[in-house]
Amino acid sequence: MKKLLIIAMLLASPLWAVEPGEMLPDAAQEARAREISKGLRCLVCRNENIDDSNAGLARDLRLLVRERITEGDSNEAVVAFVVARYGEYVLLNPKTTGTNMLLWAAGPLMLLGGGVLAVLGFSRRRRAVAAPADLTDEESVRLAKILDP
Amino acid sequence: MNAELGHFALILGFAVAIVQMIVPMVGAQKGWQSWMDIAVPAAISQFVMTLLAFGALMWAFIVSDFSLQVVVANSHSAKPMLYKISGTWGNHEGSMLLWVLILTLFGAMVAVFGRNLPPSLKARVLSVQSAIAVAFFAFLLFTSNPFVRLAIPPLDGQGLNPLLQDPGLAFHPPFLYLGYVGLSMSFSFAVAALIEGRVDAAWARWVRPWTLAAWIFLTIGIALGSWWAYYELGWGGWWFWDPVENASFMPWLIAAALLHSAIVVEKRESLKSWTILLAILAFSFSLIGTFIVRSGVITSVHAFANDPTRGVFILAILGVAIGGSLTLYAARGSILSSKGVFSIVSRESGLVLNNVLLVVSALVVFVGTVWPLISELAFDRKLSVGAPFFDTAFTPFMVVIAIVLPMGALLPWKRAQLGKTVKPLFGAMVLSIALGLLVWVLQTGGRMMAPIGLALAAWLVLGAIMDVALRIRAGKIPIGDSWRRFRNLPRADLGKATAHAGLGLTIFGIAAITAWEVEDIRVARVGESFDLKGALTTYQIRFDDVNTVQGPNYRATRGEFTILADGKAVAHLAPEKRFYPVSGMPTTEAAIDIGVTRDVYVVIGDPQQDGGWAVRSYVKPFANWIWAGAVVMALGGLLSLTDRRYRVAAGARRKARKLAAVAPAE
């Protein structure tokens, strides 16, 4: 009944991200809800999480997340529940399974590739022109004098 | 009539661009001076034509000429003048016209200031620049004509999206475009150099200032956009990793890499072929960005499929420009022989590392941005890639860059000893780590973000200071001599230290706001006070009043708040919730008390059933440092841009030519 009242109250006014009335009385639970909300996509928005979104659908999801939390679900269970209903599309943090491995591995792989290319380029350059010999001690002293009178 | 003149000027510009694309290139191949000479007047008249067209469109917006389709769709007679003017580029057609205007502006600048460029190189550069212009003129005229008239003009327009009616966003697109269209210059120089088969220090001395100028504008443009999001969207978010943001961030990263590698070409005649590749990549990312923003393909594959004309057109431009230039690069890149040799520990290697990190980080952003598209098309797996991915995948690169930067900046050219170079930085290192540890101890629990961020920021700033201190031998020689050395220090070196310190400031702002932001959401009644416990101070927020305000084209509910610290009023804030009847859209206008160590940020929401108002308030520690850092980076770039070598080199060559003209022919 109380929940219905809250929803009725919210419907009366235009919507605006997280409303005071939506928030859970338990601060720890509310903090968890916020954390989870930041990783869930507002399905009708462009690249916006449900925590920041003004859309009605985002509010429904926010309430759903809070409902699952008060029911005693863990964070993972809440996310799994939402994904089961709305699909993977709802996750802003893409899963690390299957073809997504490519996405997650792209950075490290490209860095490795870049490093290998740089080293190859370096050694090729080095072979092309042999490095000149080091300065002798005498030369170093002279050079120091010239550079720093 | 004006609109027809504008349309006509645009068509003329297109015609001139076609001539400029072909004639000077043929002239340069055949060595016909008169054919090459066409490039200069053509580039200037192309710009003048585009300026006329742009002026005509802007005029239509200023006088609210509702016989033009774009004006009807994006303007309204009751809109303030600033937004009528900015409405010119606040829509697809107008913004593409601005794109072309800036493209031709850069061409005209080369024509005017490029007197001392080798004639064949100048002809080729202007020809390539014009080829890009041809493509975009065609795009404008055939798919996005801003001068389309309506048979029956309506009485009034539909208005501009209220979110865009803001001074920050009015100037955001011109800066952004000056930046990423400005990179077309480096691209044209790179392609011309490939055709020419020659890259030398003089080439780099030309390309670097253009890239630097573009990068400065891009830095300011991105910072403006981020700042706008911070105060306009209502909760102080300042970066969302939105595809549209990434579209400007990728060219920024690559341009930053290009700036650094061009130094190596200029000073050491090394890394030539790599620098050319970067110049091509930088503008390619600008084109990709334009495609992402203009086609809507990333937002929704289906929107793209419904009206693919524009998207396909840009995709074709993209394919020809990127494919063509890379093919040319593959065929000719190897003939660019580098001269300089360097050891594995040297300034050159440091800059290579910088390049690898910046380019790979840009590619990570790219992969993340297009992954939803790839995944849906190739694997039939519909998913999202949002901020959490980019935070995880991108941040490590910035951390590594921040760690190696102060050391790399001190390395001497050619051959260095790491230990010897790093030794003077030891104090800075210890101090930075100590600062980080101090913060870690002081903050009870909390995230590691703040201590690490602070340590990195201090390391960057102290490293930059040490860089200058070592150059002027501060403390080693009498202070007067140090001062003399400081004054004689090349501006490029000062600029380098300034820009690097700016990066430190930005990193600090980001770490602080991410770790220490405090938020409060509640229902408050008029007359009530509540506490907002910031990281350093606890504020009392007193809700004084609510009233209704009539703006020029909106109605607003305005809350009056007094912010108190220790019982003393520190600020009066009046956040608004506006409603724009023309578009039927509400916006939130946050009220911010801006400070060096924190912003207090208050937003008023909707009236509640029980008589109170939804109120959100935040303490955002060191928020302004994010943008201040960007401004300092841009300033560093500006300092470097005014370096003596760019000013004198031009003068010296002019003098040399005069002498040659006077001397008898040999």
Provide, as residue numbers in chain B, all residues whose Cβ is less than 8 Å from the Cβ of A100.
375, 381, 383
Provide, as residue numbers in chain A, all residues whose Cβ is less than 8 Å from the Cβ of B586.
14
Closest approach of B521 to chain A, Cα-based (Å): 6
Q: Average pLDDT, whole number, for chain B?
A: 88
Domain boundaries, chain A: 2-90, 100-147
- Residue in chain A closest to B346 (alpha carbons) equals A122
Q: What are the tens digits of pLDDT across the range B398-409?
A: 999 999 999 988
pLDDT of A21 higher than 60: yes
pLDDT of B531 higher than 70: yes
Per-residue pLDDT averaged across B300-305, rounded?
Answer: 56
Amino acid B300: pLDDT: 56
Amino acid B619: pLDDT: 93
B651 vs B379, more confident: B379
Per-residue pLDDT averaged across B417-446, rounded?
Answer: 82
DSSP A22-63: GS-SSHHHHHHHHHHHTTBB-TTSSS-BTTT---HHHHHHHH
**Which pLDDT band holds residue B650 (cuts at 50, 70, 90)?**
low
Select the residue from B232, B346, B383, B589 to test the A interface by mutation, using most A Cβ atoms within 10 A.
Answer: B383
Least trusted range by pLDDT, from B219-233, B468-482, B502-516, B549-563: B468-482
Domain boundaries, chain B: 1-160, 170-181+194-416, 518-624
The token duo for B557 is 């509910």
Cβ contact B273:B336 at 8 Å = yes
Amino acid B417: pLDDT: 80
- Return the number of CB contacts < 8 Å for A and B: 132
Using the beta-carbon criterion (under 8 Å), do A95 and B344 form an inter-chain contact? Answer: no
Per-residue pLDDT averaged across B374-381, rounded?
Answer: 88
Q: What are the tens digits of pLDDT across the range B45-93?
A: 999 999 999 999 999 999 999 999 999 988 888 888 999 999 899 888 9
Select the residue from A4, A37, A45, A103 to test the B interface by mutation, using most B Cβ atoms within 10 A.
Answer: A103
Amino acid A133: pLDDT: 57
pLDDT of B304 higher than 70: no
Amino acid B385: pLDDT: 92
Amino acid B335: pLDDT: 74
Q: How many CA atoms lie within 13 A of B281 on its CB side?
A: 22
Of B241, B360, B521, the CB nearest to A23: B521
**Which pLDDT band holds residue A134 (cuts at 50, 70, 90)?**
low
Of B343, B386, B393, the CB nearest to A92: B386
Q: How many CA atoms lie within 13 A of B588 on its CB side?
A: 25
Cβ contact B347:B245 at 8 Å = no
B363 vs B488, more confident: B363
- For residues B129-165, b (16+ Cβ closer than 10 Å) or e, as one string? bbbbbbbbbbbbbebbebbeeeeeeeeebebbbbbbb
Q: Is A90 on the interface with B (CB under 8 A)?
A: yes
Of B356, B381, B607, the CB nearest to A88: B381
The token duo for B269 is 């005649």
Amino acid B655: pLDDT: 52
Using a pLDDT cut of 90, give the percent of chain B over it.
Answer: 52
Per-residue pLDDT averaged across A22-47, rounded?
Answer: 87
Amino acid B122: pLDDT: 93
Using the beta-carbon criterion (under 8 Å), do B608 and A20 form an inter-chain contact? Answer: yes
pLDDT of A41 higher than 70: yes
**Which pLDDT band holds residue A6 (cuts at 50, 70, 90)?**
very low
Amino acid B302: pLDDT: 56
Using the beta-carbon criterion (under 8 Å), do B606 and A13 form an inter-chain contact? Answer: yes
Amino acid B130: pLDDT: 96
Using the beta-carbon criterion (under 8 Å), do B364 and A106 form an inter-chain contact? Answer: yes
Amino acid B399: pLDDT: 94
Q: Is A13 on the interface with B (CB under 8 A)?
A: yes
Q: Please, which residues 18-77 of chain A have a Cβ atom closer than 8 Å to chain B? A: 18-21, 23, 38-39, 41, 46-49, 52
Amino acid B66: pLDDT: 92
Provide, as residue numbers in chain A, all residues whose Cβ is less than 8 Å from the Cβ of B617.
none
Amino acid B605: pLDDT: 87
**Which pLDDT band holds residue A15 (cuts at 50, 70, 90)?**
very low
Rounded to whole angstroms, the Cα distance separating B195 from B395 reads 38
Q: Please, which residues 329-368 of chain B have a Cβ atom closer than 8 Å to chain A? A: 338, 341-344, 349, 352-353, 356-357, 359-361, 363-364, 367-368
Sign of torsion over alpha carbons B387, B389, B392, B398? negative
pLDDT of B455 higher than 80: yes
- DSSP, collapsed to helix, strand or coil, labels residue B299 as coil
Whether the full predicted model's pTM is greater than 0.80, yes or no, is yes
**Which pLDDT band holds residue A7 (cuts at 50, 70, 90)?**
very low
Q: What are the tens digits of pLDDT across the range B244-300?
A: 889 999 999 999 999 999 988 888 888 888 899 999 999 999 999 888 888 777 665
pLDDT of B225 higher than 60: yes
- For B118, residues 6+ apart whose C-beta sits below 8 A from its C-beta are none
Amino acid B306: pLDDT: 59
Q: Is A14 on the interface with B (CB under 8 A)?
A: yes
Rounded to whole angstroms, the Cα distance separating A66 from A2 reads 14
Rounded to whole angstroms, the Cα distance separating B508 from B485 reads 30
Q: Please, which residues 265-284 of chain B have a Cβ atom closer than 8 Å to chain A? A: 270, 274
- DSSP, collapsed to helix, strand or coil, labels residue A148 as coil
Superfamily of A2-90 according to CATH: Cytochrome C biogenesis protein (1.10.8.640)
Amino acid A139: pLDDT: 78
Per-residue pLDDT averaged across B17-39, rounded?
Answer: 93
Select the residue from A43, A83, A111 to test the B interface by mutation, using most B Cβ atoms within 10 A.
Answer: A111
Largest CA distance in chain B: 96
Q: Is B446 on the interface with A (CB under 8 A)?
A: no
Amino acid B243: pLDDT: 87
Amino acid B504: pLDDT: 95
Amino acid A128: pLDDT: 61
Q: What are the tens digits of pLDDT across the range B103-130?
A: 999 999 999 988 888 889 999 999 999 9
Q: Is A94 on the interface with B (CB under 8 A)?
A: yes
Amino acid A2: pLDDT: 46
DSSP annotation of B608 reads P
pLDDT of B536 higher than 50: yes
